[in-house]
Structure 1
Amino acid sequence: MLKYKNDGQDIVETNYWKSEWNDQQMIYASCNAGAVRLLLPISLADAILAETKNASHVRIKRNASFVEFEFEDGQPSTYRLVLSNGSFDLLPGDPGDRKWIVSAWTMKSSKPYKASEWSSEWQDRR
């Protein structure tokens, strides 16, 4: 079972990087305080961050069985992450007048580290 200690949108502690999720190279998403926090496996973090570094924002598309994150960088081929509903502790819902913040988390000096953050657009396709 994954555990978290939060400070608003930030993750202060988690056992994710010592879990099966990390060992099996699976991204996990945790929602808290208006943020969707993407926890990146150690082995994939550098590659994912390199692909998303020029993104100006993220388009979140929720379907019945998965959530898609499109990292918009103005290029014709947009980098996408698709996570099954089981990859979330809590599925993001329509934020109404507000916007979700999407952040990418890695481990640095044995602690959670927010490597990047984006504003988002919401599309519900259920």
Structure 2
Amino acid sequence: MLRIDNQGQKIVETNFWDSEMARRGYFYLSWNAGAARLLVPDAQAGSVREMKSAKYVIVSRGRWEEAGRDDALELLFEDKSDNPYCLHLSKEQTDRLIPEEDQGGGFWVVVWTRRGQQLRLPGKYRKVETVPCLQPWSEN
């Protein structure tokens, strides 16, 4: 069972990095105290370098038809390029899903590796029909 000990937004201790999920290279998203904390498995630690050019992260929730999932998340690390870093997570890779009525911003996306916090970016959330969405943020 995955365990995450929190101190507000900070992860004090977790067994994630030694879990089967992490050994298989899967990311995990944990929500606490106004932050979406992205836990990066050791095998994916190099991806943090690609995330660092982002100005903010768009979290989109929708059906992921290609993976046969009714509910999934897309994290788009928006850097205003033609090819921003993006990843898709099934609902099993997060400890909760944000309700539809909570669309907008006002939270942080914090990237964690075994070595600690690596990156902190503003987050924006939206409900979409399907993921991949890969669309820029619209203030409408």
TM-score normalised to structure 1 length: 0.88
* 1:91 aligned residue: 97
Contact 2:105 2:122 (8 Å CA) reproduced? no
What amino acid is aligned across from residue 49 of structure 1 in structure 2?
Answer: V
* 1:9 aligned residue: 9
Contact 2:37 2:109 (8 Å CA) reproduced? yes
* 2:114 aligned residue: 107
Relative to 1, partners in 2 of residues 1:78 and 1:97: Cα closer, same or farther, differing over 3 Å? closer
**1:72 aligns to 2:78 (yes or no):** yes
Relative to 1, partners in 2 of residues 1:117 and 1:4: Cα closer, same or farther, differing over 3 Å? same
Contact 2:39 2:112 (8 Å CA) reproduced? yes
- Aligned-partner SS, 2:45: helix
- Aligned-partner SS, 1:75: coil
C-alpha deviations, 1:63-97, integer Å up to 9, x for none? 14111011111111121111011111112335467
Aligned residues: 121
C-alpha deviations, 1:9-38, integer Å up to 9, x for none? 110000001110111100011111111111
Contact 2:111 2:117 (8 Å CA) reproduced? yes
> How many angstroms does 1:100 deviate by?
2.0
Q: After TM superposition, which residue ranges in structure 1, 4 or more long, deviate above 4 angstroms?
A: none
- Aligned-partner SS, 1:92: coil
* 1:123 aligned residue: 126
Contact 1:36 1:92 (8 Å CA) reproduced? no
TM-score normalised to structure 2 length: 0.80
Relative to 1, partners in 2 of residues 1:122 and 1:98: Cα closer, same or farther, differing over 3 Å? closer
Structure 1, unpaired ranges of 5+: none
CA distance in 2, matches of 1:101, 1:95: 14
- Aligned-partner SS, 1:54: coil
Relative to 1, partners in 2 of residues 1:79 and 1:101: Cα closer, same or farther, differing over 3 Å? same
Relative to 1, partners in 2 of residues 1:123 and 1:98: Cα closer, same or farther, differing over 3 Å? closer
- TM-align CA RMSD: 1.5
* 1:53 aligned residue: 52
